[in-house]
Each structure stands twice: as structure tokens, then as C-alpha cells.
Structure 1
Amino acid sequence: MSERCQGCGAVLQHDQPGAAGYTPKVGSKLCQRCFRLTHYDDLQFSMREGIDPDRILARIHTMDALVLWVVDLFDLEASLLDGMNRHLFGKDVIVVGTKRDLLPETVGNEKLARFIYGRLKALDIHVQGLVVTGKNIPGGPEEVLHALHWAHGKDVVVMGMANAGKSTLLNALIDKPQLTSSRYPGTTLDFNPIVIDGVTVYDTPGLTPRNSMLLHLAENDLKTVLPSKAVKPVGFQLRGDQSFAVGGLCRIDILNAKPASAVFYCSNLLELHRGRVDKADELWQKHYGELLQPVPTTAPVNQWKRTLLTPLGEKEDIVIPGIGWMSLSGNYDQIVVTHPQEIEIKQRKAMI
């Protein structure tokens, strides 16, 4: 059996520098890519688009194993792929919500759990339990360890979106962290088994849906849009036609607010620019890529599409997968989001 990198699961090889699994050192337990990521945060090459999510889900479907489905609570909608209920049908599934620490402390765990169960029910996904965890969240790792025993002698497979925190979570459950974790999608490259409390647990490559903004940013811009600590909500009072530029990533127009309020939940390193709708075109034409940045690596702004949303009639969230969301309340006639073609804007009842 071929030796595998204990950090990412790739088969170790010595012949192809720049390819997955390469190490110049015979007997090494880490590939060169994992070594550079771990010690220098140096991404030698990106694999964020090199892993087929359908292949990963199909393989999980064939495994007789308990599924720990890791979802990023800050980027929940990106985890809820179309057809996920089909892939998980007949499986014992426990949801592990990570990055609780990024959400405001004012959000109670009970309210958060009701919201998550509601979203799962809407997608006809049935699970056996829910664990909420994050950095410095009391009891989270212990609850995950307890959840492993739902396997009743079976293996456990840990799945989820890229950047959901799968490898970080598993490293917290073992005495000596060995899995490579980073902010870059595509860090884990293959099914990577480790043993925890006598249970074989498979770390798996992150699923990378095309509708997440994270797949359409330069690697260097990820540190701007991925929050590393609890976000501070940024609120605005609205009247009339108001426009927001979320960096250079998307434009959100609120039409005929009378009045309304908007609260943004996104990385506090990502700049928000507010103005009038009748001045917004000029702002984007003059300042796209300069004042308005970072920008996507996809088609230029003049080729973006517009998504028209009708108010839900209650407090609601407008979600930009990979970035965060804007919570809206009050009275307004319409929401218009201008964004790259590949991104699917989500509208939901408010999480907070």
C-alpha cells in the first residue's frame, strides 16, 4: 500500500515537484506542500478547483459509516448543496456546526439550533443530532468525541465544505495535531484516516461549490474576506433608495426604504461603501478595483448579473455565499443584488 501524507492524504511521491504528494525526503510523513503550509503559510499550488465534489459525495454514499457533517455556521448556506438529502439518504448523520466564535455572543445556542434544524427540514435532510463548536467554545470538542460513539463500531467519515474547519476540528480531538489546516480551499486532497478513541475517522477533501465567492478570489484576498475573530455587526438606517458596495465583490440596492435598517455580518477587514442608488453606477465605474476592492477573478463588473428579490415581509437575510450576509428589517419595496454570474444569492429568514 502506498504511503500517504498524514497532513492531506495525498499519495507520497518523489518524482514530480509541484504535484500533489511530492516530497524530496524519503521517509517523510508530510508532503512538501503540507510542510510549507504548516510552517510558512506558503501555498505552493492551489487545488481548490481540482477536486470533484460529486466524486467525494458518491464515495461517502457507498461507505458504511457514521457521517459527521461539518458546516461553517458563518457560511451555512454554502454547505446546503442542492441534492444533499439524496447523498445523505439512509445515513446516520450528525451535524457539527463550527466557527460559533465568529457569530455575536448575543445569539443564543438554542435559537441557533432551531434555525439550523429549520433550514435542514426545509431541504428534507434528517439528522440524528447537532453539535455547536468553535474556538474557545466550552464543551465543543467533548461533545464531538461523544458523537463518535454513535458509530457503534462503524467508521466515521467527516465531510463538509472547503474551509468549514474539518481538519481543525479533528486536530482538536487528538493529542498531537497532524492534519494540515489552512484558510486555502483544497488543503485536504484525499480521504485521510486517523484513529480517535479507537474509532477510524476519515478526514475528506472539502467540497467546493462554484457558487461560493471564495472560489472566485485571488488567494491573497482570502485573508480579507475570511474573518479570524468574531465579526462586529455594522448597521445602517435607510430611507429612500440606498446602495451598498461590499468591497468590489457585489452591489446591493435597497429600493424605497420607508424606513428600514440594514446590518452587515462579514469580515471587518472588508470595506462597505454606502451611497444613493442614482450615484452608484458612477461609483463603480470610477473606483472598481481601487476604492472598491478586493474584486473577483471572474468576468468584469459590466458582465455581472442582477438578482431581484421581493421582501419576505419579515426580518430577512441576503446571503453572499463565502462572504457573509446583510440582515434587513423594516419597510422597503425591492432588493436588487448585482454580482458575478457564478454566485447564487440566497434569501432566507433572519438567522439573528
Structure 2
Amino acid sequence: MMSERCQGCGALLQHDRPREAGYTPKAGSALCQRCFRLTHYDDLQFSMREGIDPDRILAQIHAMDALILWVVDLFDFEASLLEGMNRHLFGKDVIVVGTKRDLLPETVGSEKLAKFVYGRLKELGIQVKGLVVTGKNIPGGPEEVLRAIEWAKGKDVVVMGMANAGKSTLLNALMDKPQLTSSRYPGTTLDFNPLDIHGVTVYDTPGLTPRNSMLLHLEEEDLKTVLPAKAVKPVGFQLRGDQSFAVGGLCRIDLLSCEHVSAVFYCSNLLELHRGRADKADELWQRHYGELLRPIPDGMPYAEWTSTVLTPLGVKEDVVIPGVGWMSLSGTCGQIRVTHPQTLEIKHRKAMI
């Protein structure tokens, strides 16, 4: 076993176990074979998206005397909020870095977005020192993050966040020469990885595994369909009566007793939406699950799904499918019934947009 770490993912380099983290066949290599294949061929040799204990990572971060840059995916915001996060962050200097702003429609104003983020954090009892919003081709983001790092005033900086939130991509943008492995696959960074950025020691950390995300239950090849690569185009419907929507084969949403209701979906535009009458939805799902209705969660037959009944909030609201996106609802609706895999918790909130 060698003592060097892979500069791409932070794993200890080793020669003996090809199917484990840190393996490299070449002595003196800066990258493990997994990072090399990901970087050059987008080839995920093996997945680590469920191999990292988030409680261990958070406990290690909590023990450090450091400024915390908490990276949250603005598009998949609810999945960034692990239960008990306020306990792990209590008493810490925390700056939130909201990534993937480019996936949201340009019509979303920065002030409204900031109000939404601060409002959700307040509801969870989490206090932060500031918010930086960034994303592809979003001006000023990296410069603001650098200023936040300088604000550490001699402390180390720890960059934490959920798997696939964009931590490594963000850090690569701050370095003169990008060196971290970044990919669309959750679980790319495997250990604490110290970097020197403008004279400050900055630790990239393994992505926290979301306990409540559809991404945990998808085949790797289906991530291309579900994870948007560019700004989503909202898809809207005007509804009356009892209506049902299939979000691919991932989730069913029934809207009952609609009166002049507007439903707008914010999810990958490669993911097909199917609208129909609620009284015909059972037949549709039983006949076409896995065929017309796809992709589907792996190993979760539709017959074993559960339903969550939501009482409308009386204001413009979102029904969130963690890992997939959300439906924004306005107008008068008697009941919202969501049918979904048992391991998934549907989120209900005041509208982001």
C-alpha cells in the first residue's frame, strides 16, 4: 500500500485490488484508475454512491476548526437538507454556495431565489453567514467564493455537500489548473482531499449520500435522462376535474377536484410526462410501467409503491420529487395524491418560483 492519495478523488492509492477505491496499476500515478477512466472516457468502473456514511463525514467536519462552505444544488435543494443538519452545523461559520443556478429558468430573480433559500434554512433552524449563487456561465460566482475563502482569516476551509451537488466542479473553477475528478455520478470524491487555493488549505470532501433521493434507485444509464444538463424548460398544463400525471415511470401525481388549476413541471426535458384522467391512471400504470412509463426505479415494482396524500397549502406550492424535480401548483385543488416508491419521501413547500 502506498501513502499517496489520488489527486482526483482523495482515495489512498493502492496496487492490489482493482475493483476497490484507489487502485492504480502504475507506480507514481497521480490518479487512480477509476478517476482516469471517468475523466477521459466517462466510464464509471464501479459506483460508490451508497458506500459513504454521511454521519461519519459530518462528524469529522464538525470536529474541525474551519470555515464551512456548504454546497447545495439549487435545482435539487430539498435533497441537500439531511435530517439533523442543524445539529452538525451548530456554532460553525457557514457560507452556503448554491450551485446549478444555470438549470433554473432565467426568469427566477436572484432576490427571490435568496429569499427562498434563507426561508427554508430558517424553517430548519440553520443559521449561515452568507449565500453565494453560482453555476455554468453565471458571472461573478467563482470570485465571490474566493472572497468567502479569504474571509476564513487563517482558518482552513471545508467544502461539504450532497453527492453530485457540484463541489469538485466548483473547486476546479477556483484553481489555476483543475485537478479534481468531477462527473455526473454521485460518489465521485471518496475521501477528504486537501488543496492549496490562494494560500488557504481547502478540503474537498466526499459527497453526502442523500437518504431521500430517486437518484439512489436509478440505473447509472438512466441518470442521463433524469439529471438535466442544461436549463429546464417549464412544461405547463391547465387543469379541471380529476387529473393524473406520470413523471416517466418514477412518480404518479393525482390532482383531484381541480378548478382552474395551473400545474408547471420543472424537471429534465428528456423525462417524458404523461397526462390523463385520474380514473384511468391505474390501468395505465399496470399496463405500461417499464415500457411507455420509463425510466423506472431499480428493484421497486409499481405494486409495492405507497401513496402520500397532501393537503393543498392554499398558496402557490411545489410538490417535490427529490432527485428528479418538482411540480408547481396554483389554483384551487381539493387533494394532491402522490404515488411513489416507499423509500422516497415527497416534499411539500411554498413555491420556489
TM range (shorter): over 0.9
Q: Please tell me whether residue 162 in structure 1 is matched to residue 138 in structure 2.
A: no
CA distance in 2, matches of 1:115, 1:200: 31
Identity %: 84
TM-score, normalised by the number of residues in structure 1? 0.99
What amino acid maps onto 1:114 in structure 2?
A: K
The letter for the 2-side match of 1:257 is C
Query: Which letter maps to 1:309?
Result: L
Q: What does 1:333-348 align with in structure 2 at a 5 Å threshold? A: 333-348=334-349
Q: Distance in 1 between matches of 2:303 and 2:167?
A: 37
The aligned amino acid for 1:205 is P
Partner amino acid for 2:143? E
Q: Write the letter of the residue equivalent to 1:219.
A: E
| 1:232-281 alpha-carbon deviations (Å, 9 max, x no partner) | 00000000000000000010000000120100000000000000000001
Deviation at 1:93, TM superposition (A): 0.1
AA in 2 matched with 1:151: A
Tell me the equivalent position of 2:271: 270
The SS at the match of 1:184 is: coil
Alignment-derived partner of residue 72 in structure 1: 73
* Structure 2 segments unaligned to the other structure (5+ residues): none
- Structural mapping, 1:107-126, within 5 Å: 107-126=108-127
2:316 maps to which residue? 315
Residues 209-238 of structure 1, C-alpha deviation per residue, up to 9 Å, x if partnerless? Answer: 221000010000000000000000000000
**In the alignment, what sits opposite 1:30?**
31
CA distance in 1, matches of 2:18, 2:261: 56
Give the Å deviation of 1:149.
1.4
Structure 1, gaps ≥5 residues long: none
Q: Secondary structure at the match of 1:148?
A: helix
**Counterparts of 1:210 and 1:145 in 2: how far apart (Å)?**
31
Q: Secondary structure at the match of 1:57?
A: helix
Alpha-carbon distance in 1 for matches of 2:81, 2:26: 41
Q: Which residue of 2 aligns with 1:52?
A: 53
1:145 aligns with 2:146: yes
Question: 1:20 aligned to 2:21?
Answer: yes
1: CA distance, partners of 2:220 / 2:193: 24
Write the letter of the residue equivalent to 1:314.
V
Cross-structure match for 2:332:
331
Instruction: Name the CA distance, whole Å, in 2 between partners of 1:120 and 1:299.
Output: 32
Match of 1:173 in 2: 174
What code does the residue aligned with 1:50 have?
G
How many angstroms apart in 1 are the aligned matches of 2:53 and 2:151? 29
Q: What do you get for the CA RMSD once the two structures are aligned?
A: 0.7
User: CA–CA distance in 2 between the matches of 1:258 and 1:231?
Assistant: 27
What is the rounded CA distance, in whole Å, between the counterparts of 1:304 and 1:210 in structure 2?
17
- What letter corresponds to residue 23 of structure 2 in structure 1? Y
- What's the CA shift for 1:293? 0.3
CA distance in 1, matches of 2:84, 2:39: 34
Residue 299 of structure 1: how far off its partner (Å): 2.1
Partner secondary structure for residue 26 of structure 2: coil
Q: Return the alpha-carbon distance in structure 1 between the equivalents of residues 262 and 74 of structure 2.
A: 23
Q: How far 1:2 sits from its partner (Å)?
A: 1.3
1:151 Cα deviation from its structure 2 partner: 1.0
Aligned partner of residue 276 in structure 2, secondary structure: strand
TM-score, normalised to structure 2, is 0.99
Q: In structure 2, what residue type is equivalent to 1:6? A: Q
Report the equivalent of 1:211.
Answer: 212
**Contact 1:102/1:230 (CA < 8 Å) preserved in 2?**
yes
Which residue number in structure 2 is paired with residue 258 of structure 1? 259
Deviation at 1:82, TM superposition (A): 1.2
Q: Secondary structure at the match of 2:151?
A: helix
Alignment partner, residue 281 of structure 1: 282
Amino acid at match of 2:128: V
Aligned length: 352
**1:307, 1:345 within 8 Å by CA — same for their partners in 2?**
yes
Does structure 2 conserve the Cα–Cα contact (< 8 Å) formed by 1:298 and 1:340? no
Distance in 2 of aligned mates of 1:58 and 1:339: 32
1:99 maps to which residue? 100
Moved over 3 A (4+): none
Counterpart CA distance in 2 for 1:82 and 1:312 is 23
* d(CA) in 2 for partners of 1:344, 1:179: 32
Q: Indicate the SS of the match to 1:172.
A: helix
For residues 296-324 of structure 1, the C-alpha deviation after alignment (integer angstroms, 9 at most, x for no partner) is 01321110010000000000000000000
- Give the CA deviation at 1:180: 0.3
**Counterpart residue number, 1:225:** 226
Confirm or deny: 8 A CA contact 1:180 1:187 kept in the other structure. yes
Identify the residue that residue 189 of structure 2 maps to in structure 1: 188
Three-state SS of the structure 2 residue aligned to 1:74 is: coil
